[in-house]
Amino acid sequence: MDDCPICVCRKRVSSWISCPKCHFSCCASCTKRYLLDSKDINPKCMSCSTQWDFEFVAKNTDIKFHNDEYRNMRAKLIMERERSLLPGTQPLVAEARCKRDMKNELEKINKDIKMYEDLLREARKRKRVLWNGKNLMPTKPEEASKNKRFIGRCPAKECKGYLDDEFNCGICGKKACPTCRQPIHKNECDKDDVETAKLLAKGTKPCPSCSVPIFKIDGCSQMFCVSCHTAFDWESGMIEKGVIHNPHYYAWQKQLNGGHAPRRVGEVRCGGPVEIALLIEKMGKVDVEESIREWVLNAHRVVYHIRHVVLPKYPGTEPNNQDLRIKYLLGDLTEKRWLSEIKRREKKREKDSAINLVLRMCCDTIDDLLHNIVATESNDVPVILIQISQLRRYVSKSLKRIQKRFENKVPMISGKWEVTEPGIRKHRR
């Protein structure tokens, strides 16, 4: 028992959470409270601000916290960020609505073709016209939103749109008064509305990248410039940047009695993966059983399979939620469904990212060890073979932890370097 440095309560030291970077420790309750109150999408140490990976949070907190409370909080923060992107999505809504109307009309025409044989020629002609028109419409956001600037919400009731710099709403098509920003009217503007409009005009900040004025709708301080697509913090004005490191690669290096200074994940050694001919030649000089030689070659071959077949299925990149924003602006998606879908996508991204990091670390480290086999003396090769075996067990345990954490099947690597994927037959190289 010891006093927590944050809440000054006596707690079991075994239940404390310690930062792997600065080793600052405090009780689990204070750590969880900090993660929830910090309103940061990415978990960080309260002492040194080092970013923690989500596996560290899941490993050191109870399942109710990291799978429910913390995940819900992150989903809400992501939704607020998506809400800040709504103005830039508005130009695409008219296109989406037009495509949807065209699709509905195409379906009606197809029914008419079956019901009215005498109108077959006319209906097919109209179908071709609609189909060609649908495909000719621009689909790139850059083309649709180029030079578009927005100054605030549309004042019309039940409208979710935004006013452009000419005070026109692209959703409902109505125009607002330039002086008071209320629905267009014939009488004089209300003084209170005019003062409110002036305050709104003052409440903008320039984008740190292109200087376009940005207004804040509500929610968290993370903003997004629809002109140059730059994310920045409303309070500090700093552009948001960050480097993601692979924690599995560093954890593996620590297990090798200090190992060598780890390379940055994704960096390819000069010359790339070891040439198979050099590896076969070197293993032929090592005094080991033939099954061991085949085992090493299987490790070499499985790296190619993982990199080119397995890894592309688990990119772990941030999802593009543009389709959800369009559906929300069209009224096809409620806020509740919007939040639910964001949470589902974020959980999948989190799982894919965890798998990606482990498999990429596996490939990078195998390449390193196989290069060492080719470059070292034959008598030292058995030590490297032990390291390869330890690596496979470490990777297997890491993947099993991910499977348990997300309660979902993940790729696995057997002792013979056989890769099994969910729903796919075993791959043996």
**Across all residues in the chain, what is the average pLDDT?**
80
Question: Are 98 and 39 members of one domain?
Answer: no
pLDDT-based confidence at residue 202 (cuts at 50, 70, 90): confident
Q: What is the mean pLDDT of residues 328-340?
A: 90
Question: Are 254 and 374 members of one domain?
Answer: yes
Lowest mean pLDDT among 10-19, 140-149, 159-168, 280-289: 140-149
Q: Which among 57, 84, 111 is the end of a domain?
A: 84
Q: How many CB atoms are located within 10 Å of the residue 103 CB?
A: 12
pLDDT-based confidence at residue 149 (cuts at 50, 70, 90): low
Taking Cα atoms as reference points, which of 237, 268, 264, 266 lies closest to residue 253? 264
Domain residue limits at 7: 2-84
Taken in order 291, 293, 295, 298, is the CA torsion positive or negative?
negative
How far apart are the C-alpha atoms of 111 and 116, rounded to whole Å?
9
Are 419 and 305 in contact by the 8 Å Cβ rule? The answer is yes
| pLDDT at site 206 | 59
Question: Are 298 and 410 members of one domain?
Answer: yes
Using one digit for the tens of pLDDT, what is the confidence trace for 82-100? 888 888 888 888 888 888 8
Question: Are 22 and 121 members of one domain?
Answer: no
| pLDDT at site 216 | 67
- Is 286 part of any domain? yes
Question: Are 37 and 115 members of one domain?
Answer: no
In which residue are the tokens 């109870």 written? Answer: 62
Question: Are 320 and 371 members of one domain?
Answer: yes
Question: Are 122 and 266 members of one domain?
Answer: no
Three state DSSP letters for the chain: CEECCCCCCEECHHHEEECCCCCCEEEHHHHHHHHHHCCCCCCECCCCCCECCHHHHHHHCCHHHHHHHHHHHHHHHHHHHHHHCHHHHHHHHHHHHHHHHHHHHHHHHHHHHHHCHHHHHHHHHHHHHHHHHHHHCCCCHHHHHCCCCEEEECCCCCCCCEEECCCEECCCCCEECCCCCCECCCCCCCHHHHHHHHHHHHCEEECCCCCCEEECCCCCCEEECCCCCCEEECCCCCECCCCCCCHHHHHHHHHCCCCCCCCCCCCCCCCCCCCHHHHHHHHHCCCCCHHHHHHHHHHHHHHHHHHHHHHHHCCCCCCCCHHHHHHHHHCCCCHHHHHHHHHHHHHHHHHHHHHHHHHHHHHHHHHHHHHHHHHCCHHHHHHHHHHHHHHHHHHHHHHHHHHHHHCCCCCEECCCCEEEECCEEEEEC
**Cα 295–Cα 301–Cα 304 angle in degrees, nearest 5:** 150
User: In this model, does residue 428 exceed pLDDT 50?
Assistant: no
Q: Which among 107, 126, 145 is the end of a domain?
A: 145
Taking Cα atoms as reference points, which of 83, 71, 80, 64 lies closest to residue 35? 71
Tally of structural domains, the chain: 3
pTM for this prediction: 0.61
Question: Are 392 and 376 members of one domain?
Answer: yes
